[in-house]
Chains A and B, each alone.
Chain A
């Protein structure tokens, strides 16, 4: 089965991020592959192998995302593609989804798209749903287990706000997977060597044969968080009971109980 997964590079989760004097977002760490994607990549690699298929990883955006693509190749994805168009606002999810869906169609004969739950940097959690709509495929989000995968259908366990569902849907489908669905593998030494030499093709909208919609959103500004206006009070007292009483006093004063 031909499977596609999307990925992106994001700042390391431990990085401090802030908006500098010129309004640009800067951070003090390296880039990593979006942590949620590792579960999707693992699932794509395992399922492609199991079905004797191929797994393709795609990033939409600037060159910085090649790091995540190389990581994906090193993990064992069969091929990687970057989709990019000069001057296009790929931070707009509608533009992104239009490009992403067209790229899946260009890969051809894809039955399953497996993605991570969300991007930890742009924090939109909307790209994938929109890609599914642009493809006209069924969307199953928050999958915690693939229970059955055949050539024409998929059965999954998925988490909803009120519990867990088992659902069956026809392929092709788009799914997002949760942490816990698997243990993502680490790239092997050989994998890393191979990936570092891989040339990653770049597809433009002309290669994809799409006309992009006008960007639906515009980022006006990034802002630092409003300062947390507070000091910490360490609750002191001669005994545990005294501290508990004092803490409850404070919480009642705060009206948060």
Chain B
């Protein structure tokens, strides 16, 4: 029994969004009349488990085996599946990061359990867990009931409030890793970490640029092959990024901007990109196609900056500014610096 919360770790710390999983686990455990067990694998797992106790976990299961230092699906799933088999938790909850969703799905398959991804809401109905999740690119939602003894839930980032830190402490149990067969062992040859890039799906503020980024009045230096790409990239670097810096925001883009080579694919927001869920979303030079909306309509406050007053994005926006983004955004950045005292 118990509700498991998987606390994701990187470089010896818990990822901040993990406390959302712990918060949701606490609420669900309360409804089911049970307690929360934090599950922590990787470097520093003991210290992180102690921290999980402060966030409200009653128990913690830790494993610091070297094979778990960097997330790898196979050894992580082998251990989690064994722990689920041994302890029969009613639910296992993680945030749907890349690793979280894979681990939940894999262990659900190993233990023939229900798995629900991108969960927006959780309720208990006659002892069974029912979760609400987006369907059809977030154009509708579905309610899914789990019919197995354990249900694995991967939560949409920022859909649940993080647990609050208190003074509790968890009973910590250390366990051994479960060895995996050689053919399921990968060799990580190189890792290139992104320096200080704010993760789009975790960000409280997101600023995205679209095809309109190409209309930069700055002129490219001689020898530039493609003036349009240069202009748009210059705009992302010198107009969008400074605004993002003031706000601690992540930078996104429309598919048109990505396909035109203005910015990398990983920045795409939308139905075939990332789904973001920030408090504030600023769309600059984006028309607001239905596929783009699918990735950002869940944002709390949407601001659109577009020089075309008829752009569909204004229907979704709470605040609209009908201006050239190259005139408006630098002024906005200056104003924010002043007002936020930066």
Contacts and interface: CB of A to CB of B under 8 A. Distances in A.
Interface in A98-143: 120-126, 129-130, 132-134, 136-142
B320 A134 contact: no
Interface residues of B, number: 95
Nearest to B100: A161
A112 to B, nearest CB: 14
Contacts of B104: 126
Interface in B140-168: 140-148
Bin the interface of chain A by size: 35 or more
Contacts of A120: 136-137, 271-272
A159 B105 CA distance: 18
Contact of A240 (B96, B108, B331): B331
A191 to B, nearest CB: 23
A199 interface: no
B279 A217 contact: no
Contacts of B340: 257
B191 interface: yes
A51 interface: no
A240 B115 contact: no
Majority secondary structure of chain A interface residues (helix, strand, loop or mixed): mixed
A141 B321 contact: no
Contacts of A150: none
A130 B105 contact: yes
B320 A223 contact: no
A244 B142 CA distance: 40
Interface string B181-204: 011111111111110000100001
Contacts of B117: 123-126
A200 interface: no
A142 B98 CA distance: 9
B342 to A, nearest CB: 11
Interface string B313-338: 01111111111000110011011100
B242 interface: no
Interface stretch (B19-27, B37-45, B69-77, B223-231): B69-77
B328 A94 contact: no
Contacts of A94: 108-109, 112-115
Contacts of A221: 142-143
B189 A155 contact: yes
